[in-house]
């Protein structure tokens, strides 16, 4: 069982079933010490867990067992994409560089690498004015975490967008799953399919999306706070096709450490 509310629950069932080692035909000899690995699928990182052993075969005074230690070990995440902008010279236009390009492969829609601000290292990408910067992906199925660090300076104006598409080709097959809207002067953040937040200025803030491509859902987070769950793709492609950092004529917004990892 797992819970994100309290050590006292309420708890959600994660997995249930017989433990093969505990139900073997031959009983273990007395005073046997065993380590029994148990694997189960868990797509939610809970803060609190409860493990229950509810029965033992042929329970009697001569057939009992003591469970001394239970360890919960998660599978390590695997990075599928990492971009920290450190491999480029400051001032580099990213159109046509390392998989980055302007929307519809348009030359003037790239964005510059900047050393004015960075979350890690020396560089970030500056999304400003006509920037409409795209990177395509070819991911299908599974549960992934898409994370990006964002910096919005105070005193900025206009509306800028962080977009994830489930499918993208230059000039065709462009289907939005995430469109997060930042009203720079008003200080508000809007999300497709509901949810809102308030912009944190002059700090690096994490934008995080936990995407279940098998079950067609996405959980949206801003600055560590859960915002809303939504349907990922109304056409149920089960894919992640591209990121789009759209300046929309607005003031400068900076992004760094864009990552996609398994969950």
pLDDT, one tens digit per residue, over 155-186 is: 999 999 999 999 999 999 999 999 999 999 99
User: What integer best gives the mean pLDDT of the chain?
Assistant: 91
> How confident is the model at residue 63, as a pLDDT?
61
Q: How confident is the model at residue 66 (pLDDT cuts 50, 70, 90)?
A: confident
pLDDT at 220 over 80: yes
Q: Which domains does the chain have, with CATH numbers?
A: 1-75 (no CATH), 79-262 (2.60.120.200)
> How confident is the model at residue 212, as a pLDDT?
96
- The token duo for 2 is 């797992």
pLDDT digits (tens, 9 = 90+) for 85-114: 999 999 999 999 999 999 999 999 999 999
Q: How far apart are CA 28 and CA 217, in angstroms?
A: 45
> How confident is the model at residue 22, as a pLDDT?
66
The three-state DSSP-derived secondary structure of 128-167 is CCCCEEEEEEEEECCEEEEEEEEECCCCCCCEEEEEEEEE
Q: What is the mean pLDDT of residues 63-72?
A: 72
Angle at 165 (CA atoms; ends 233, 129), nearest 5 degrees: 140
> How confident is the model at residue 2, as a pLDDT?
86
Helix, strand, or coil here: 23? helix
- Measured CA to CA in angstroms, residue 139 lies from 90, 185, 236, 250 at distances of 30, 35, 14, 30
């Amino acid at each position: 069982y797992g819970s994100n509310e309290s050590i006292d629950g309420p708890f959600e069932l994660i997995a249930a079933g017989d433990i093969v080692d505990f139900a073997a035909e031959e009983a273990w000899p007395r005073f046997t010490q065993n380590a029994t690995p148990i694997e189960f699928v868990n797509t939610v990182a809970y803060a609190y867990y409860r493990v229950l052993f509810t029965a033992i075969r042929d329970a009697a005074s001569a057939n009992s067992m003591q469970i001394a230690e239970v360890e919960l070990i998660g599978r390590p995440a695997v990075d599928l994409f990492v971009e920290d902008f450190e491999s480029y010279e400051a001032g580099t236009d990213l159109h046509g560089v390392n998989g980055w390009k302007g929307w519809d492969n348009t030359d003037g829609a790239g964005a510059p690498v900047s050393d004015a601000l960075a979350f890690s290292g020396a560089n970030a990408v500056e999304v400003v004015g006509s920037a409409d910067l795209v990177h395509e992906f070819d991911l299908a199925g599974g549960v992934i975490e898409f994370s990006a660090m964002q910096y919005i300076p105070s005193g900025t104006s206009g509306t800028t967008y962080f977009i994830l598409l489930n499918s993208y080709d230059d000039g065709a097959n462009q289907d939005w799953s995430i469109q997060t809207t930042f009203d720079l002067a008003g200080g508000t953040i809007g999300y497709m399919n509901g949810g809102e937040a308030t912009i944190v200025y002059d700090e690096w803030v994490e934008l995080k999306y936990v995407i279940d491509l098998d079950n067609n859902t996405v959980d949206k987070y801003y600055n560590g706070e859960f915002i809303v769950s939504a349907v990922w793709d109304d056409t149920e492609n089960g894919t992640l096709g591209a990121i789009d950092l759209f300046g929309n004529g607005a003031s400068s917004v900076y992004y760094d450490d864009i990552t996609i990892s398994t969950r």
